[in-house]
Amino acid sequence: MTMDGTGHESVDLVRPYVITNGQELPKGDEFELVTLVTAADGGARRAQLDPERRALVELCCGGYLSVAEIAGHIGLPIGVIRVLLSDLAGNGQITTRNPVPTAQLTDIQVLQEVLDGLQTRFG
């Protein structure tokens, strides 16, 4: 930790540790930048959450957001967000799903055959 010249520890270095309660990201973390997250039912349990976790759950109430979007809205480092999300997922406060995979590129030959067939049929 660094000192800020007055003998006090830098708040920027301590805060993420305090927010995550010293937790580290679990092995096999499921939270990639594109993982989609939404709040699970259970609004009564939100009152028991600390402010950062409550803000995450409330942000995700409107539908699915990616982990990167959540970090941008909340303004915390992505590593901290991933630890908090992992904790919330373990408590059943949020649910996740993988993003919809991108469509595979269609073979250009198939597209050319379709175009040729349309031109033959409709002139």
Q: What is the chain written as a DSSP string? A: --B-SSSPBPHHHHHHHHHTTT--PPTT----TT-EEEEPS-HHHHTTS-HHHHHHHHHGGGS-EEHHHHHHHHTS-HHHHHHHHHHHHHTTSEEEEPPPPPPPPPPHHHHHHHHHHHHHHH-
pLDDT of residue 66: 94
pTM attached to this predicted model: 0.66
51-107: per-residue pLDDT in tens? 889 999 999 998 899 999 999 999 888 988 999 999 899 889 999 998 777 766 667
24-49: per-residue pLDDT in tens? 766 666 788 999 999 987 666 777 88
